Amino acid sequence: MLIVRPPATRKLSIFTRLMLGNLAVLLMATAVGAYTILQLGRMHALTGRIIQVHNVLIDLNKEMGAALLSQTRYEKKFLLVRDQALYDGYLAARTDFGQYLEQAQTRADSGEVRQALQRIRSLHRRHGELFLEEVRSLKRSGRTPLVRHDREKERLVQETLEELTRLRTLSQQSILQKANELEETGGRTRTVAMLITAIALLLGILLSVAITRSITLPLSRMKRKTEEIARGAFTADLRLTAPPEIESLAAALNVMCRKLEEVERMKSDFYALMSHELRTPLTSIREGTNLFLEGLCGEVTHKQRELLVIIAEESSRLIDLVGSLLDLSKLESGVLAFHFGSVRLPPLIAQVLREVSPLAAAKEIALDSEYDELPALSLDPERILQVMRNLVGNALKFTPPGGTVRIVARSLPGEVRITVSDTGPGIAAEEREIIFEKYRQALPSVAGGNTGTGLGLAIVRHIVQAHGGRVWVESEPGQGSTFIVALPA
């Protein structure tokens, strides 16, 4: 049972990281909104004070001035004509003044304004006392009052008007001050809001980059690791500092790599065992069959000879298959030893042609070769011979009688190219890549009915790539095929 242990240290999950990042940005946005609302409330309060206090005080100041002047006119006319209606007008104007004064005092918002209003109240009261004293004197004597306070009353009225002027000035100054505060508050609010917004934006970007990198970098490493696994590198060396979900996935990948390494080792051991256990009995079967065919074990009938030939051919085929499987396994696992040296290609080409000439003659296929003055290359001669044997053997297999197989070697800048061409049925476009994969062949209809193990071209590709080269095929159905091997010079 596979058990993947969780990481020892407690780390934030991807969901938690995203939530915390979004929460941080949201808190910054909330801070901007809260600060803006607070400052707007302050600006609203300042505006309200201007409208409800200072503008009202200015209006009340005008009304008190008008009431004081009306009161003074009624007072003077009453003392001259002694008309009760004038006295009533005086009392009404005095009452209006007192009401305006009371309203102003309820809206006073500073010590200076309160002092000015208190001074106005005192002056107004003293003015009324003097007038009432004159009225009482008038009522007692029935004629012009003996005691007149004209100068004193004029002084009191003048001082009251001056205090009203001073009160209006204070109100106007307060309005100007509040307007300045409004401007400063608006500017400060705009600056702070822009600053906090910029900080929130920068923090959001940094958090997004940090969270994204904490997720994408481990995923990139895992992607590279999966590519290595696809190439056959199963080393369990993936160590990540990442969210727990990704660390668990990386741990599972490491476990998978260890399992794949074990499977690969078991496969190699199986191929080695198969090679050892199968080659010996197969060789014995083939050699024993040859003894019967040579008549060393007695006379063989025609029918028996046909069966023995089939057994000998199939035994050789099985021996070749076992060898190919073993070679491919070693190539894929990287344990096949290469012995590089400075080697020239023409002798290798001539050797391959000598080896396949009997088969070509039996199938009535012409062999041809052409090569320039080629430089010596760093390669393993036995493995390059194996490559050319596979390519030439395939060409002979798929070329009909009367056809031609041609080997050409050319020296090009930075590389040497070996081409093996045949006049066989050709290969369809969709088959040109898959034929280099193990156990994959061209369709029988395309291959002219010939089949094989599907290992030869896979071995060719591995050997050529181990030499730092490339191999590909150029072909059209019905036009033959040309396999090209490019080796670095």
Beta bridge pairs of residue 484: 419, 472
Segment among 168-182, 229-243, 339-353 with least mean pLDDT: 229-243
Q: Is the pLDDT at 289 greater than 50, yes or no?
A: yes
pTM, two decimals, is 0.46
Q: Is the pLDDT at 485 greater than 90, yes or no?
A: yes
Looking at residue 219, its pLDDT comes to 81
> Residue range 145-171: average pLDDT?
81
Average pLDDT, the chain: 80
Q: Please state, in angstroms and rounded to a whole number, the distance separating the CA atoms of residues 356 and 420.
A: 13
Looking at residue 448, its pLDDT comes to 46
Instruction: Give the model confidence (pLDDT) of 96-131 as tens digits.
Output: 988 988 988 888 878 888 888 899 889 889 888 888
- The most confident of 168-172, 347-351, 370-374, 477-481, by mean pLDDT: 347-351
Looking at residue 142, its pLDDT comes to 65
Looking at residue 422, its pLDDT comes to 92
Looking at residue 470, its pLDDT comes to 92
Looking at residue 301, its pLDDT comes to 76
> Residue range 58-72: average pLDDT?
88
* Domains present along the chain, CATH in parentheses: 14-209 (1.20.120.1730), 244-333 (1.10.287.130), 341-488 (3.30.565.10)
